[in-house]
Amino acid sequence: MNKFTVLLLLVTIGIISCKNSEKEIDKLEIAKKYYEVLDKSNVSGIETLLTDSLLTKETEYDYEQTFSKKEYVEWLKWDSVFKPTYKILEIGQENGTVKAKISKTDKRISFLHKEPIVTDQVIRFDKDKITSIETTKYVIFNDSVFVKNRDGLLNWIDKNHPELNGFIYDQTKTGGMKYLKAIELYENKK
């Protein structure tokens, strides 16, 4: 090959590499924006980040759920009731996915768990939209404290305020308000 062909080949490879790097950076920025939207409970901001549906997985609990975009917006409204704080502890990109260590606390978690829950998550994409969020590991999660406090709340509500029964399964804004009311009543029972 002549020198010009080799030079042209190297320049082409360089341009392609730069374009791929820009796409990689975009995914990292999209993931950061996603956690920012969750932190601010920005219902309108979530829609531009997701595909038409979102698969959520919790590997340790062998659980998965697919939300339509509308259902996920409703879940975000539920989450917003508890005034969440999401913090990115670590974030990086690997092979077209984003891996993050996330800390979350809110009024519900503070009551049930007594400290923030920290998870490792993997975000997958279709082009520039998020298709799935997988919680691969609970780094900080005390299952026994969480279950003990949840069961104590549910049993007390069942005996003293049965009109609120079912709040734990209602992941709508109304269900979130009932959940907060149940926690308030339980904490002020003395």
What domains does the chain contain, in order, with CATH numbers? 24-141 (3.10.450.50), 142-189 (no CATH)
How many Å apart are CA 27 and CA 29, to the nearest integer?
5
pLDDT in tens, 132-188: 999 999 999 999 999 999 999 999 999 999 999 999 999 999 999 999 999 999 999
- How confident is the model at residue 76, as a pLDDT? 96
| pLDDT for res 95 | 87
Quote the tokens at residue 176: 């979130």
Helix (H) or strand (E) holding 78: helix 69-81
Q: What is the pLDDT of residue 10?
A: 53
What pLDDT shows up at residue 97?
95
**Average pLDDT estimate for 17-45:** 81
Flag whether pLDDT at 23 surpasses 90. Answer: no
Higher pLDDT, 9 or 106: 106
Where is pLDDT greater, at 14 or 77? 77
The residue type found at 42 is N
User: pLDDT tens digits for 119-148?
Assistant: 999 999 999 999 999 999 999 999 999 999
**What was the pLDDT predicted at 4?**
55
Distance of CA 161 to the CA centre of its chain: 31
pTM (2 d.p.) = 0.84
pLDDT one-digit tens code per residue, 79-125: 999 999 999 999 999 988 999 999 999 999 999 999 999 999 999 99
pLDDT reported for residue 22: 47
For residue 150, the model assigns a pLDDT of 97
The helix (H) or strand (E) run that includes residue 65 is: strand 63-68
Give residue 25's pLDDT. 53
Q: Cα separation of 150 and 155, whole Å?
A: 9
Q: State the DSSP code for 170.
A: -
With a pLDDT cut of 70, the percent of the chain lying above it is 86
How far is it, in rounded angstroms, from Cα 13 to Cα 6?
11
